[in-house]
């Protein structure tokens, strides 16, 4: 696991010495991603410069140093990630006569490119990766990213120079970088709590989408080639479903998981796993322990607030499996102390509150291991999110009504404030059925009003994912751009609403929220995370599974639960799903109130000129009063404000 960066200057405005100095400065910004070693390489005549920071995981010797040159002399690479099947590929290459200098997967990549070409070679890679490959012969630069988006890669033009890197802080170190905030991307951020690919917070700087190789042939001349398509995988899987029995499906999934886990346990450094006690992480740890001769090191974070604490469940699972378990109960003060780190840790606005415990568990694990396996990806592949069930239920209840009726009803519900509805219902409470008295109140009526006007199940899904529903009215001077979620041409052709939600989560929420969160939190403490559930062969198999093998009696992850039950008693894992969150709502009314008040000050908001202060102040006052819970809306604004103060204003 490493950090990569570089540039291709076609203007000739930098001298050879300046090129060396600049690429080293860019590389040094990624020291946290690779504290063990660093290197640069330039071709001053062409203007290409590559930088690398190394976190040594495989082949700890100097033979793993990057930038690395191919034996044939044609290629130079900087690479972030792991190729898990590199030993298998190495054997094939050795059978063809290739002789290796060292034992790294990077050298295997270069040999594969040399003997088979980039397009063929990348199809054979099973791994997580982002790389920059300079082809001396063709004078082109290839930027590639793994199939699901585990490893990040930003790129863009600064004048006539292409700049790229694992994180934005490396690009910003380029001397002519202009950090102009993209207000359109900011509008997307306050809707989603992350900035969807291909956009970034800066104008002209983009995220390379997953499963893509971008070939840069010179200034403003590039082509992008997809080598793997989640859309095609979903469509093919549904069109050609698994036809075996449930027992055969369990056996196949168990075998695929075992191999995916085994491949990700190969390391020359200490290795462990995150364990929340939920289905996904428990499955990964169970399969690790089943294939390990030593107790697997597992790590959990606990909170003293019962509503947010799963640590005791994780401990029970670890004890049953015989793991070497470490848990840390975090006080609110310790969790809140992470918040000042977030603006520089994430480089661009990011407001998923689980960013805090993710950083804490990464920090805990890094005290004992250098690599940690994670259970991410199971929700998207095996129907783990509540919205898959909530969306269906809502649409079944409202979809039969004519749109005009729903729009009129929504308008009427919004005509009164939640408090006014509460007072009205209290006045007539004696006439209401007993079961309704405890269910109907103003907040829920307003929430219902948000869903009633939706035109289709797909717009309902987007509403479920949205925080600020009208971002353009909040972000001054913005025009919300099209994304995968708003462009049906990018959707997989799936007739089932639940499967469409799963697909869209896989290509948007998974890479841009979940994987971004895990990568930055772990790499911020120089920890490599590996995600077995995102082995592309397992993803392809999951899409072949009929929905009834994933959902049983309105409970998701049925097949995954059957695999886990072979290793862990059901009584240890059968419980309602909990999110990996923190009590932001309470903190904003307590310990974080002064910090938030400063960032949300009306005068400050007006002076900075990014937000319309009125809706923010209204929600802030309502939240403080306890009449409404606006924690997620406010956290979006606060994370941008904190990021702005740390990255732009100072």
Summarised one tens digit per residue, pLDDT across range 302-341 is 887 777 777 888 999 999 999 999 999 988 888 899 999 9
Feature table: binding site: 105, 301, 374-375
**What is the overall mean pLDDT for the chain?**
91
B/e letters for 124-162, b = 16+ CB within 10 Å, e = fewer, are ebbbbbbbbbbbbeeebbbbbbbbbbbbbbbbbbbebbb
The model's confidence at residue 129, banded by pLDDT at 50, 70 and 90, is very high
Residue 211 pLDDT > 80, yes or no? yes
Asked if pLDDT for residue 131 goes beyond 50, the answer is: yes
How confident is the model at residue 61, as a pLDDT? 62
Is residue 649 over pLDDT 70? no
Contact at 8 Å (CB) between 577 and 307? no
pLDDT band at 650 (very low <50, low <70, confident <90, very high): very low
Lowest-pLDDT range of 10-24, 298-312, 477-491, 573-587: 573-587
| Fold match, 2-228 / 235-377+502-572 | no
Lowest mean pLDDT among 102-116, 215-229, 508-522: 215-229
pLDDT in the model for residue 57: 66
Q: Which range, 35-39, 455-459, 531-535, is most confident?
A: 531-535
Q: Report the pLDDT value the prediction gives residue 118, as an integer from 0 to 100.
A: 96
**Which pLDDT score is estimated for 145?**
97
Q: Where are the alpha helices (DSSP H) in 497-612?
A: 497-504, 515-523, 536-544, 558-564, 584-589, 593-599, 602-608
Is a pLDDT exceeding 70 seen at residue 580? no
pLDDT attached to residue 439: 46
pLDDT value for 607 = 96
Please say if the pLDDT value at position 363 is more than 80.
yes
pLDDT exceeds cutoff 80 at 500: yes
Residues in the chain: 650
- At CB < 8 A and 24+ separation, what contacts does 579-583 make? 579/354, 580/276, 580/354, 580/357, 580/358, 581/308, 581/353, 581/354, 581/357, 582/303, 582/308, 582/335, 582/353, 582/354, 582/356, 582/357, 583/305, 583/307, 583/308, 583/332
Tokens of 581: 């969150």
Percentage of the chain lying above the pLDDT 90 cut: 72
Full-model pTM = 0.93
Question: Distance (Å, rounded) from C-alpha 350 to C-alpha 342?
Answer: 8
Question: φ and ψ at 529, to 5 degrees?
Answer: -110, 140
**Where are the domains positioned within the chain?**
2-228, 235-377+502-572, 391-480, 584-647
Among positive and negative, which fits the CA dihedral 143, 145, 151, 154? positive
Helix (H) or strand (E) holding 127, with range, is strand 127-135
| Domain 2-228, architecture per CATH | 4-Layer Sandwich (3.60)
pLDDT band at 204 (very low <50, low <70, confident <90, very high): very high
Residue ranges of the annotated binding site for ATP are: 301, 374-375
Which CB contacts under 8 angstroms, 24+ apart, belong to 486-491?
Answer: 486/462, 488/458, 490/231, 491/231
Q: What is the pLDDT of residue 555?
A: 87
pLDDT at position 440, please? 47
Work out the average pLDDT over 553-582: 85
Please work out, in degrees rounded to the nearest 5, the angle formed at the alpha carbon of residue 516 by the alpha carbons of 511 and 520. 160
At 136, is the pLDDT very low, low, confident or very high (cuts 50, 70, 90)?
very high
Residue 165 and residue 333: Cα distance in Å, rounded? Answer: 34
Binding residues for L-glutamine: 105
Q: Which residue is listed with tokens 């289905």?
A: 279
CATH number given to 235-377+502-572: 3.40.50.620
Number of other residues whose CB lies within 10 A of the CB of residue 611: 20
Give yes or no for a contact between 82 and 1, defined as CB atoms under 8 angstroms apart. Answer: yes
Mean pLDDT across 611-637: 94
393-442 tens-digit pLDDT: 888 888 788 777 777 877 777 777 676 766 676 665 554 554 444 444 66
Q: How far apart are CA 344 and CA 32, in angstroms?
A: 12
Catalytically active residues are 2
Higher confidence at residue 515 or residue 308? 515
Q: Which of 522, 621, 638, 643 is nearest to 202 (CA)?
A: 643
pLDDT in tens, 35-77: 888 899 999 999 999 999 977 666 566 777 889 999 999 999 9
Comparing 92-96, 220-224, 317-321, 498-502, the range with the smallest average pLDDT is 220-224
Q: How does 114-123 read in b/e, with b if 16+ C-beta sit within 10 Å? A: bbbebeebbe
Structure confidence at residue 395 (pLDDT)? 82
């Amino acid at each position: 696991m490493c950090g990569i960066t570089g540039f291709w200057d076609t203007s000739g405005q930098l001298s050879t010495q300046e090129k060396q100095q600049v690429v080293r400065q860019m590389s040094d910004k990624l020291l946290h991603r690779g504290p063990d070693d660093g290197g640069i390489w330039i071709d001053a005549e062409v203007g290409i410069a590559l930088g690398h920071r190394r976190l040594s995981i495989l082949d700890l010797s100097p033979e793993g140093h990057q930038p690395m040159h191919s034996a044939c002399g044609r290629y130079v690479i900087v690479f972030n990630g792991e190729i898990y099947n590199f030993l298998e590929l190495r054997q094939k290459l050795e059978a063809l006569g290739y002789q290796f200098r060292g034992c790294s997967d990077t050298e295997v990549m270069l040999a594969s490119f040399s003997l088979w070409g980039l397009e063929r070679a990348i199809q054979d890679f099973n791994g997580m990766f982002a790389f920059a490959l300079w082809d001396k012969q063709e004078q082109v630069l290839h930027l590639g990213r793994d199939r699901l988006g585990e490893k990040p890669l930003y790129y863009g033009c600064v004048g006539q120079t292409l700049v790229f890197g694992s994180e934005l802080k490396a690009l910003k170190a380029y001397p002519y970088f202009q950090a102009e905030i993209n207000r359109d991307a900011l509008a997307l951020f306050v809707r989603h709590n992350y900035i969807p690919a291909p956009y970034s917070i800066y104008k002209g700087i983009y995220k390379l989408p997953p499963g893509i190789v971008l070939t840069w042939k010179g200034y403003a001349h590039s082509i992008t080639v997809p080598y793997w398509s989640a859309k095609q995988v979903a469509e093919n899987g549904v069109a050609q479903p698994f036809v075996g029995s449930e027992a055969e499906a369990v056996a196949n999934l168990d075998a695929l998981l075992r191999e995916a886990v085994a491949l990700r346990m190969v390391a020359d450094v200490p290795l462990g796993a995150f364990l929340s006690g939920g289905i996904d992480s428990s499955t990964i740890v169970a399969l690790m322990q089943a294939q390990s001769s030593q107790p697997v090191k597992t790590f959990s974070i606990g909170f003293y607030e019962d509503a947010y604490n799963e640590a005791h469940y994780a401990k029970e699972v670890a004890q049953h499996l015989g793991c070497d378990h470490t848990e840390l109960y975090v006080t609110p003060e310790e969790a809140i102390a992470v918040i000042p780190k977030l603006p520089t840790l994430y480089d661009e606005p990011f407001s998923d509150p689980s960013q805090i415990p993710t950083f804490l568990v990464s920090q805990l694990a890094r005290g004992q291991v250098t690599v940690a396996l994670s259970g991410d990806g199971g929700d998207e592949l095996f129907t783990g999110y509540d919205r898959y069930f909530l969306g269906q239920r809502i649409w079944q209840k409202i979809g039969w009504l004519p749109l005009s009726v729903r729009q009129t009803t929504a308008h009427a519900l919004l005509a009164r404030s939640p408090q006014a509805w509460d007072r009205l219902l209290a006045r007539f409470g004696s006439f209401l059925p007993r079961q309704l008295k405890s269910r109907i109140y103003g907040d829920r009526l307003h929430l219902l009003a948000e869903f009633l006007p939706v035109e289709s199940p797909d717009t309902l899904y987007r509403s479920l994912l949205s925080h600020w529903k009208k971002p353009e009215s909040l972000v001054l001077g913005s025009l919300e751009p099209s994304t995968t979620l708003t462009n049906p041409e990018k959707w997989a052709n799936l007739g089932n609403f639940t499967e469409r939600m799963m697909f869209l989560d896989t290509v948007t929420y998974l890479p841009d929220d979940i994987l971004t969160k895990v990568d930055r939190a772990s790499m911020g403490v120089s920890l490599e995370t590996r995600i077995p559930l995102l082995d592309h062969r397992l993803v392809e198999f999951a899409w072949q599974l009929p929905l009834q093998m994933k959902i049983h009696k309105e409970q998701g992850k049925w097949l995954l639960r059957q695999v886990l039950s072979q290793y862990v008693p059901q009584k240890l894992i059968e419980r309602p799903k909990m999110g990996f969150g923190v009590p932001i709502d309470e903190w904003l009314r307590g310990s974080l109130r002064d910090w938030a008040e400063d960032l949300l000050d009306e005068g400050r908001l007006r002076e900075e000129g990014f937000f319309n202060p009125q809706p923010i102040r209204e929600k802030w006052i309502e939240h403080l009063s306890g009449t409404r819970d606006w924690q997620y809306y406010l956290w979006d604004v606060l994370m941008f404000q904190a990021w702005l103060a740390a990255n732009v204003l100072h």
